[in-house]
Amino acid sequence: MSYRFFEDVNTNFDRAAPYVDAEPGLLEQIKRCNSVYHVTFPIKKDDGTIETVHGWRAEHSHHKLPAKGGIRYSTLANEDEVVALAALMTYKCAVVDVPFGGGKGGVKIDANNYTESELERITRRYTFELIKKGFIGPGEDVPAPDYGTGAREMGWILDTYRAINPSIDAEGCVTGKPVELGGIRGRTEATGRGVFFGIREACSHAQDMKDLGLTTGLEGKRVIVQGLGNVGYYSAKYFQEAGCLIVGIAEASGGLYNEKGMDLENVMTHWKETGAIKGYPGAESFKDSRKVLEMDCDILVPAALENQINEENADRIKAKIIAEAANGPTTPNAHNIIKQRGALIVPDNYLNAGGVTVSYFEWLKNLSHVRFGRMDRRNEENMMRKVLTAIEDASGNGISKKVSEELVQGSDEKDIVDSGLEDTMIVAYNELREIRRANNLDLRTAAYVSAIRKVAVAYDRQGIFP
């Protein structure tokens, strides 16, 4: 039986709907995808041959504008996947109070099979097709990177859009751009950073950790990460820096496990030198990377693609915390199996929101035309110098130059972005935790309850249903 991603998203929606006081017709509208565009176009490859490429863009909800969501390049891309991811983006933005509707794009290619010039032609043509139908623009629909794309592709999208729409706000048509083209510092690591902040907050609640048989905090917790793209790598990096042990790593080429932990950067060096993580001398290697997900650990971080934890392997997953860094990594039936075992599932429609949160900051920067920190950084430093001088005068004791320099340093753009992301993830987690406790729900259902309530209120206040 084929996997139906959007059906799974709506199954989760239906579990939460009874806890939302809204008209059934409104709930039905919130579930549905507002618009989908399927385009095919030809591209000429470097060898002169012509290839037809399929692409999609879905806008799930227009309760707030613009729609927002990444563009992925994947041979698995299809309409069902794109619509499901757009729906998740609607709920994700609502959970963390980012004022966007949900969107998503996909191009059915394996980026590894194309040259840079071919990828540029594909990206530019896909962008042109979106422009023709109004599926891109600072106030309409704002793409971002996703699986198989990055800052380079976002730069091509911006250039193509601006050539046709040379407005002052054109930079806001896409996020995840290079900093030199209006991007924002901290966007590359944002999703992984958000995963870290979310799990750190989850692990800070003593009773919740006691219920799992764990101690409070991250120190010493054993972590398995699936996927070493931006999300998985940065998640693992921040967990390791916080004192966690990276005991397992799973990648397409294979998997590694060492109950005593591995050094992430050493693994990355081995991967770059050999082309695969398997064979790393500091761990047991697995040909089938899925086996690593079933090894003993405290925190499992699926940071690859959807449907990775399913009915086939859910009963063998030993982790006490499932940190859903990817979109849709756990099917509804697998969720039930893991939930019954008593594990804590921190869901994708909350935990994966770091990327869109920082994309929101980038979009604000593009529309305001000013870098964060530019207006007040030096004023912060001058005020702190005055405070330190007053303390020295009052105490009669001097403050060392090193300490003084550390205290006086004002916040730059990356500091501000990181602070905003941290606050977003902490506030949202505690909101979900309260909904969970008040209604005796799991966190995923609580996240859907939170999102549906906010979207319903937005529709109602706009007078869309007179």
* Among candidate residues 153, 183, 213, the one where a domain is terminated: 183
Residue 433 inside a domain? The answer is: no
DSSP 181: G
Q: At what angle do helices 377-395 and 401-408 cross, to 10 degrees?
A: 140
Percent over 70 (pLDDT), the chain: 98
* CA–CA gap between residue 99 and residue 64 (Å, rounded): 6
Tens-digit pLDDT profile for residues 49-76: 999 999 999 999 999 999 999 999 999 9
Same structural domain, 178 and 196 = no
pLDDT band at 3 (very low <50, low <70, confident <90, very high): low
Range of the domain at 148: 35-183
Residue 463 has what pLDDT? 59
CB 126 within 8 A of CB 41: yes
Question: Can you give the pLDDT at residue 466?
Answer: 44
Residue 454 resides in a domain:
no
Residue 408 included in any domain: no
346 membership: H or E segment, kind and range: strand 344-346
End-of-domain residue from the set 130, 158, 183: 183
What is the predicted pLDDT for the residue at 10? 95
Same domain, 200 and 177: no
Beta bridge partners of 321: 299, 344
Strand partners, 248: 224, 257
Clarify whether 104 is annotated catalytic: yes
Contact assessment for residue 302 and residue 325, using Cβ atoms and an 8 Å cutoff: yes
Question: Confidence class of residue 35 from pLDDT cuts 50, 70 and 90?
Answer: very high
**Rg for the chain, CA atoms, rounded:** 23
The total domain count for the chain is 2
Per-residue pLDDT tens digits for 200-209: 999 999 999 9
Bridge partners for 70 per DSSP: 144
User: Tens digits of per-residue pLDDT, 95-104?
Assistant: 999 999 999 9
| pLDDT band per the 50, 70, 90 thresholds, residue 464 | low
Please check whether residues 52 and 141 belong to one and the same domain. Answer: yes
Q: Which of 104, 237, 339, 365 is catalytic?
A: 104
- pLDDT at res. 197: 98
What is the DSSP pairing of strand 299-302 with strand 321-323? parallel
